[in-house]
A and B are shown apart, each in its own frame.
Chain A
Amino acid sequence: MALTSVSRRTTRRLAADAGLLVVAGAFVLPLAWVVLSALDPHANLRVKAPDGLTFDNFDAILTPEITFTPLLNSLILCGGATLLTVVCAALAAYPLSRFRSRFNRPFLLTILFATSLPITAIMVPVYALFVQVDLIDTMQGTILFFAASQLPFAIWLMKNFMDGVPKELEEAAWTDGASAFQSLLRIVLPLMGPGVSVVTVFSFVMMWGNFFVPFMLLLTPDQMPASVSINDFFGNRGMVAYGQLAAFSIVYSTPVILLYVLIARRLGGGFALGGAVKG
Chain B
Amino acid sequence: MTATAPHPRLTKTPEDGHPAHGPRRPLRILPLTPAVVLLLLFLAGPIAYCVYIAFTDLQLTGQAEESFVGLDNFTRAFGDEAFLNAVWLTLVFTVVSSLIGQNTLGLALAVLMRRASKPVRTLTGGIVVTAWVLPEVVAGFLLYAFFRREGTLNAILDWLHLPSQNWLFTLPILAVSFANVWRGTAFSMLVYSAALNEIPREITEAAEVDGAGGRRRMWHITLPMIRRSIGTNLMLNTLQTLSVFGLIWVMTRGGPGGRSQTLPLFMYEQAFQNSLIGYGTAVALLLLLVGSLFSLIYLRLLRTEV
Contacts and interface: CB of A to CB of B under 8 A. Distances in A.
A174 B24 CA distance: 11
A47 B120 contact: no
Contacts of A268: 1, 190, 193-194
A45 B131 contact: no
A98 B21 CA distance: 12
B135 A253 contact: yes
A220 interface: no
B287 to A, nearest CB: 4
B124 interface: yes
Interface stretch (B44-52, B81-89, B96-104): B44-52
B3 interface: yes
| Interface residue range, chain B | 35 or more
A272 B192 CA distance: 10
Interface secondary structure of B, over-half rule: helix
B142 A124 contact: no
B289 to A, nearest CB: 9
B266 to A, nearest CB: 11
Given A17-B117, A109-B299, A120-B242, 19 more contacts: A20-B120, A20-B123, A28-B127, A30-B146, A117-B239, A120-B243, A121-B287, A125-B284, A128-B53, A129-B49, A145-B42, A151-B35, A152-B43, A155-B35, A180-B23, A181-B31, A212-B246, A212-B264, A235-B250
10 contacts: A20-B121, A46-B151, A101-B28, A122-B43, A122-B284, A129-B45, A257-B134, A268-B190, A269-B3, A273-B229
Interface of B: 1-6, 15-16, 21-23, 27-29, 31-36, 38-39, 41-43, 45-47, 49-50, 53, 58, 105, 108-109, 112-117, 120-121, 123-124, 127-131, 133-139, 141-143, 145-146, 148, 150-152, 155, 182, 190-191, 193-194, 198, 214, 228-229, 232, 235-236, 239, 242-246, 249-250, 264, 267-268, 271, 277, 280-281, 284-285, 287-288, 290-292, 294-296, 298-299, 302-303, 305-306
Nearest 5 A/B pairs, CB to CB: A209-B135, A211-B246, A148-B42, A278-B5, A269-B1
